[in-house]
Amino acid sequence: MKLVLGIDGGGTRTRASIVAVHAGVAGEQVLAHGENGSIKRLRVGAEAAEANLRELLKDVFAQAGVTGVSAACCGVASCSLPGIVEWITAVLKDFGAERCEVVGDEVIALDAAFQGGPGILQIAGTGSNTIGRAPDGSREWAGGYSSRLGDEGSGYWIGLHSIRRALHAFDREEPTQVLKKVGEIWGTPGLEDLVSLGDGTPGPDFAALAPAINELAEAGDPVALTVLRQAAADLVEFVLLVRAKLRRKHGIAGEVPVAWTGGVVEKMTIVREAFFAGLHAAAPEMPVGSEGVIPLDGALWRAKRLAEATN
């Protein structure tokens, strides 16, 4: 039996599981599972990220009643930044991980969907990114250029652009409840207060507005509806762009499957239906997963492979 640890360090929260893998036996036994705050340093700062990671690991190791694992894989946003891999690896070693790897959160999501095989994954949560993998393992991307420079179709983008469009609607004296709703959430009594807070540094959590924007869209608010429909259109465009790159640069003749993950597609019916409809209209034969993938499954899959390599 080998114990492995998987960690999904998303933009807003971090999940971890420890499972027991038995040689020659199908399946696995989940010994522990836990959640905590983000370990993305750019989002919460180095001190909070360290505390969140250590608290989460302390929890799952206590649940499992173990003091180490054969292998651990952590997928985290911005893992390419200097020092991130070394920091997380050191923490994992402190908790008794014999072998470790730290990869991007998009990598574990891709492996959750395709387990090393070819496919296209659309990530649409707090941020967004589209990644495709060819049969030879090489990858192509579209989008994912941070909340300020891109991340179209993400929760952050939805919150920010709903306010932008609502301000334009205010100037044109067009109806929308977006500014009223945002003011209630932010506690800003007037428009000047809302603009001042929205333009502040550090700014508010625009992604946290996405659920409220979704509710307004479902109620028929024209600004919210426009934003969600544009979000879906952008996500479709990114998938088709990656599909075209895989075909042109890697000689893929047939279709590759598409998977998705993240609350924007999972929880926003308007976005999800428009996303599916847009992909079907553009590529009717392209297989699209009906359920979102769970990135943590990809981290566990990679950890199991790492543990097997020690045999």
Q: Note whether 292 and 262 are within 8 A (CB).
A: yes
The verdict on pTM exceeding 0.95 is no
DSSP assigned state of 7? E
Q: Note whether 88 and 20 are within 8 A (CB).
A: no
Side-chain half-sphere CA neighbours of 185 within 13 A: 20
Which residues is 76 bridged to in the sheet?
9, 104
Query: Rounded distance, CA 205 to CA 253, Å?
Result: 42
Fold of 2-111+295-308: Nucleotidyltransferase; domain 5 (3.30.420)
Query: Rounded distance, CA 25 to CA 203, Å?
Result: 51
Q: Note whether 29 and 96 are within 8 A (CB).
A: no
Domain boundaries along the sequence of the chain: 2-111+295-308
Give, for all 311 residues of the chain, the pLDDT tens digit.
Answer: 899 999 999 777 899 999 998 775 566 789 999 999 999 887 888 899 999 999 999 999 999 999 999 999 999 977 888 899 999 999 999 999 999 999 988 889 999 999 989 999 999 988 899 999 999 989 999 998 888 888 999 999 999 999 999 999 999 999 999 999 999 999 999 999 999 999 998 889 999 999 999 999 999 999 999 999 999 999 999 999 999 999 999 988 889 999 999 999 999 999 999 999 999 999 999 999 999 999 999 999 999 999 988 65
